[in-house]
Amino acid sequence: MRTFDYIIVGSGIAGLYTALLARDAGSVLILTKGSLEECNTQYAQGGIAAAIGADDSPELHLRDTVSAGAGLVDLDSVRIMTEEGADRVGDLIRYGVAFDTIHGEVALAREGAHSVPRILHAGGDATGRHIELSLSDLARHAGFSIREYSLLADVEVADGVLQGATVFDSRAGTVERLECRRLVLATGGAGRLFQITTNAEVVTGDGVAVAFRAGAEVMDMEFFQFHPTALRMPGAPPFLISEAVRGEGGILRNEAGRAFMADYAPERELAARDVVARAIVAEMRKTGAPHVFLDVRHLPARTVQGRFPQIYQFCMGQGLDITRALIPVAPAAHYMMGGVKINAWGETNIEGLLACGETACTGAHGANRLASNSLLETMVFAKRLVDRARNGGTKREDGPSEPGGRIEEAHSLPRREAAGQTYPGTGLAALQRLMWDHVGIERTREGLTFAADTLASWERRLPEAADRASNDLRNAVLTGRLIAEAALLREESRGAHYRTDFPESSAAWLKHLVFVRP
């Protein structure tokens, strides 16, 4: 049996950055269920937020993050993230990421709900791809073990302590048990649980599901962010149209050509993502159109082409010249604010089981993530995770290292009977339709109850996982149920969670919902 000091599951920025930091602290194995480069990081167009500008500060960045988070942001976590962010950007530069510059200085852009320009980009809208390629190239030459097309099936725990991991090799069809001192979940979010998404195919909620089955706490699952602007064209896959396009001056127009965001928010196109997404849905409902339009025709063509080369080229490939024509856009599932509950050192309630990146929930995003904070949060808490482990920490210690002052309410998944109605189809495609229809941008008690009943019924009937597809479905069903159950419990609207039957926020719900297996 092979034994490692660190098994790191996932090959996005969270997994690769953690592995590169941990390589001098012991033996490292990276597991990734696709290729090393197949992850969400490469799709991150918006960049990375950090308070490095002359008119910026960590405190101002904190205030913007708290404002976007709709009352549920954990102040300790955000303070850590904003104060340590500049150093982590420095790490990326040392790792070879070439951020865009103007006259020799790093160029800073502004995005929705940021009060000042603080977003760093690399290659215009290709930031994630630049970071992913830089880190994956380093990883391939770093001397640690990498297993591609290998997925984490289960985590073994005894008396609250990590014992090992069961790994399935999807190419060979073999199962192997590995031992490790620390297992780091960095598997990304759960965007592929929804029919329309900006996420990579591998992102099916694996880390949350595996951790929950092992007994880890999971928090804030009802808060799932839908990006307001994804390309919506017949025959074209959903493709992210970066927040930075609106930051550069892009204007949202309805079917009649009218700029409508002033009707919904004083910040107009630069309002928080949840506000813009719901405004777009409202306009689509008024007109019966499947999309609205994003207009950049008034910007110089060279600005659009130079600032957003990926978006420009992708749209041209679909026969759309965005310098001359309106861009049809609509919301798409994008980012999971909730996840495996960790403290400020990446530790879960299971000794030796750690998490970072979108898989983890630090509380830093609250109910609605501020644009471009995700890459920053990933790096800050990955660094703290490795520092803590390097200094001998394995057992979770709360107190100073635990984000304080928040109210948490513990729940277990309720026992549910089979749904009264049957949902058409089976498998991942049916689950994606179910989640989009009933656990999407607008939610109701009736729809959430139907989704939770259906998912519970599917969960009981799932056969034993025997290949990648069945493992993906097993994890997606459980993660989807956690999202639906949390959304059903929270009888209010807050941030990315919107209930049409409870359209207002309530002070009684200034608390976090935590699920744990009995």
C-beta of residue 106 within 8 angstroms of C-beta of residue 52: yes
State the Cα–Cα distance between residues 30 and 8, nearest whole angstrom.
5
Half-sphere exposure of 425 (CA within 13 A, CB side): 8
* CA nearest neighbour of 280 among 295, 267, 261: 261
Report the b/e string of 148-178 with b at 16+ CB within 10 A. Answer: bbbbbbbbebeeeebebbebbbbeeeeeeeb
| AA letter at 213 | R
Question: What string of DSSP letters covers 239-261?
Answer: -B--HHHHHTT-EEE-TTS-B-G
| AA letter at 113 | A
State the Cα–Cα distance between residues 50 and 119, nearest whole angstrom.
7
Instruction: Give backbone dihedrals phi and psi of 244, rounded to 5 degrees, phi first.
Output: -65, -25
CA of residue 173 relative to chain centroid, distance? 29
State the Cα–Cα distance between residues 360 and 364, nearest whole angstrom.
10
State the Cα–Cα distance between residues 148 and 475, nearest whole angstrom.
19
* CA nearest neighbour of 350 among 358, 342, 359: 342
State the Cα–Cα distance between residues 232 and 54, nearest whole angstrom.
38
C-beta of residue 2 within 8 angstroms of C-beta of residue 117: no
* CA nearest neighbour of 270 among 102, 46, 107, 445: 46
Residue recorded with tokens 């930031």? 127
State the Cα–Cα distance between residues 41 and 139, nearest whole angstrom.
15
Spot the catalytic one: 110, 118, 273, 481. Answer: 273
Of all helices (H) and strands (E), which one includes residue 10? none
State the Cα–Cα distance between residues 497 and 69, nearest whole angstrom.
11
Query: Counting runs of H as helices and runs of E as strands, what totals does the chain give?
Result: 13, 21
State the Cα–Cα distance between residues 192 and 472, nearest whole angstrom.
10
**3-state SS class at 231:** strand
Told to judge if 273 belongs to the known catalytic residues of this protein, a careful annotator would answer yes
* CA nearest neighbour of 359 among 118, 12, 7: 12
State the Cα–Cα distance between residues 201 and 225, nearest whole angstrom.
18
Report DSSP state, residue 197: B
The pair of structure tokens assigned to 198 is 């900006």
Strands (E), 25-110: 28-32, 48-49, 101-102, 105-106, 108-109
Catalytic residues: 273
